[in-house]
Structure 1
Amino acid sequence: MVRAGWLGAAGLALLLAGPAGDAAADAVPVPDGYRMTEYRSPTPASLPGAETVDTARARALVESGAALPINVMKLDRSTLPGGPWLVPKPFSQIPGSVWLPNVGLGALTPELDGYFRANLERLTGGDRGRGLLFYCLADCWMSWNAGKRALEMGYRRVLWYRDGADGWAEAGLPTEDGKPVPVAAP
C-alpha cells in the first residue's frame, strides 16, 4: 500500500512537471553554426528565425497547402559518378513531401549545396516567402540544419517540425512511401 501511494504521488509530480522531453530540449543549446556530428541526438526547443511547429500545426499547414513538407532524411549514395540514392527499405513520409536527402548535413559538398539550392528554387518558383516545412525524425539535427540553411539562403517562411516522421506516424496520420529526388535532375 505504501508503494502504491508513493507511485501515485510520483506520477502526479511528473504530470505537474510537464513532459520530460520539453525540459531536455530546453537544455540543448542552440549552436552558432551547424550541428556537424551525432545528428540523432536531442535537439534545441527551437530554430531561431523559424517557426517551430507541433504535429497539429504541421498537419494544418500541410493539409491547407500553406507549407510544402520537405523530408531531409539521410541516405547513402552509390559511389558511381552521379550515382543514385540507395534506399535500402521503404521510408514513410508525410504525404506530399519532397525528399531531399542529406541537405541537413553540417557541411555540404558543392554538389549537394547546388542540389539543395536548385530544388528549393524549383519547388518555390523563386518565392522566398513560400512556406517550407523541414522535418526528419524526432531527435534529429538534419531538419534543424536544413531549416537554418534555408533561412541563410533568404527563405523567410521556414517551419521546423522537430517531431518529424516519428511524431506524424505516432499521431496515426497517413503516410506515403518516400522517393528521393535524384541529384542529377533537380
Structure 2
Amino acid sequence: MIRALAFALMLAQAAGAETVPEPSDYHGEPYRSAVPATLAGAEVIDTDQAIALQGQGRAAFFDVLPRKARPEGLPEGTIWNAPVHETIPGALWLWDTGYQALAPAEQARLRDAMTQAQADHPDRLLVFFCRTDCWMSWNAARRAIEWGFDPVIWYPGGTDAWVAAGQPLVTAEPVAP
C-alpha cells in the first residue's frame, strides 16, 4: 500500500513538474505549488537516491521548511507551543532559508551551514529539501549554486515522498540563528 502511494506521488510529481519551466529568478508566493523537474547547476534526485545518499553518509541534508510562527492576535498571556517539526534523520533544519528574499540572518545561517558541512570535505554533497511541490528547497538550492557551492543536490519529493516510501522521520531542532 505504501509503495503504491509512493508510486502515485511520483507520477503526480512528474506530471506536474513537466509543465513548469524553471523561472529566471527565485520563486515567491505561492510556495506550495508545482515545481520544475530541473534546477540548472544542480542534480535532481528521487526518493530512492535520497535514501541511498542518506544511508551512505556522503551528503549533508538541509531541510528549509519554515518554522510555524506564533499566531497573531492571541490574547496576552496565552501559552503557545510551536508544533513539532519532523525531518529526515541527520538533516539540519535551516528554517526560513528558502524564501524568495532572505534577511541577512537567514542568509548567514544558510551560508554558514553549507560552509561548515564542506569544511573538512569540500566535495560533500549538499542536499536541499522541504516538502513535495514546495519552492523553498528549489530557492535554497539555487541560492547555494549562485553562491558558488558545489555539488548541489535538489530533492523535490522532500519529507512527503520520504514518508510515502516508508522511511522514518525524526524530531528536528531548528539551527540556532
Task: Indicate conservation of the 8 Å contact 1:22/1:45, yes or no.
Answer: yes
- Equivalent residues in 2 for 1:58-77, closer than 5 Å: 58-76=50-68
Counterpart residue identity of residue 25, structure 1: A
- 1:167 to 1:87, Cα distance in 2 relative to 1, 3 A: farther
Which residue of the other structure, out of 46, 55, 63, is the alignment partner of 1:54? 46
Query: Alpha carbons of 1:60 and 1:23: their partners in 2 closer, same or farther (altered >3 Å)?
Result: same
Q: Is the 8 A contact 1:128 1:155 kept in 2?
A: no
State the partner residue of 2:102: 108
Q: For residue 5 of structure 2, what is the aligned residue in structure 1? A: none
Fraction of identical pairs, as percent: 38
Deviation at 1:77, TM superposition (A): 5.6
Amino acid in structure 2 at the alignment position of 1:50: A
Compared with structure 1, are the counterparts of its residues 87 and 37 closer, same or farther at alpha carbon in structure 2 (3 Å cutoff)?
farther
Q: Secondary structure at 2:167's aligned position in 1? A: coil
Shift of 1:74: 0.8
Q: Over aligned residues, Cα RMSD in angstroms? A: 1.9
Q: What is the rounded CA distance, in whole Å, between the counterparts of 1:177 and 1:33 in structure 2?
A: 32
Matched, 1:97 2:91: yes
- Answer whether contact 2:69 2:82 (CA < 8 A) is retained: no
Shift of the 119–29 alpha-carbon distance from structure 1 to 2, 3 Å rule, reads same
Could you tell me which residue of structure 2 aligns to residue 144 of structure 1? 138
Q: 1:23 aligns with which of 15, 18, 22?
A: 15
Structure 2 gap ranges (5+): 1-9, 71-79
**8 Å contact from structure 1 (residues 75, 87) kept in 2:** no
Using the TM superposition, give the Cα deviation of residue 19 of structure 1 relative to its aligned residue in structure 2, in angstroms: 2.8
**1:118 aligned to 2:112?**
yes
Q: Find the residue that maps to 2:18 and give its secondary structure.
A: helix
| Counterparts of 1:178 and 1:49, CA distance in 2 | 28
TM-score by length of 2: 0.83
Compare CA radii of gyration and give the structure with the larger one.
1
Show structure 1 runs of 5+ residues with no match. 1-17, 79-85
Q: What is the aligned counterpart of 1:171 among 165, 173, 176?
A: 165
Instruction: Tell me, in whole angstroms, the C-alpha distance in 1 between the residues paired with 2:81 and 2:55.
Output: 27
Number of equivalent positions: 159
